[in-house]
Amino acid sequence: MHHGHGSQAHWQQVYQTKAPDSVSWYQPTAARSLALLCQGGLGPQSAVIDVGGGTSCLVDALLDASVGSITVLDLAEAALALTRQRLGERASQVTWLVGDITQVALPAQAYDLWHDRAVFHFMTTPEQRTAYLLALQHALKPGGHVVMSTFADDGPERCSGLPVQRYSREDLLKALGPRFSLLAHEHELHTTPGGMPQAFNHALLRFA
């Protein structure tokens, strides 16, 4: 268990010391993610995993849309606890997983949709990226879709005190490999609660 990019202690501290709406990646709604998930076929039959879901509001929107199976994974138990608290009764309709995506044992071919807003870009070593991609290709159904948001090539070089890997559209496709084909892509200037612009790239990909 190496520490560095995203040790559990680091992220626990981030979520225990900052209000959910003050972390730099905070967004009041998950509209963009939701639109891309819908393009990927999101519906009541879908099984969705939100990787690094943390305190994101995406899970609320998935529950509102009566999505059949929802899993939220995060390194930080503290973040998931806040989200469960916010959801109240509805939290029982969600599967909560605490773990590192590079180490967690996910069920095989279990998910139609894999959502990752700003986890993959913390995978800054080839080993981390390989482990992430093994998990993704193991757990996603062939024919399933990935909605991935990373810092763009003109985005920040660090986030929350950690280095990140920035991706252009071409870089992302190269990193994910030939089993993924790009269906949609958009560049966004996300404004942090502190007023700083962060350039994100959002991609919808199909897994063959």
* Predicted confidence (pLDDT) per residue in 108-160, tens digit: 999 999 999 989 999 999 999 999 999 999 999 999 999 999 999 998 898 88
In the predicted model, what is the mean pLDDT of residues 87-91? 97
CA distance 64 to 56: 14
* Predicted confidence (pLDDT) per residue in 28-72, tens digit: 668 889 999 999 999 999 999 999 999 899 999 999 999 999 999
How is residue 78 written in tokens? 């503290």
Cα distances from 198 to residues 17, 18, 30, 191, 201, in angstroms, run: 22, 19, 16, 6, 10
pLDDT of residue 2: 43
Range name among 84-93, 152-161, 189-198 with the lowest pLDDT average: 189-198
Mean pLDDT (the chain) is 91
Query: Is the pLDDT score of 4 beyond 60?
Result: no
pLDDT of residue 6: 56
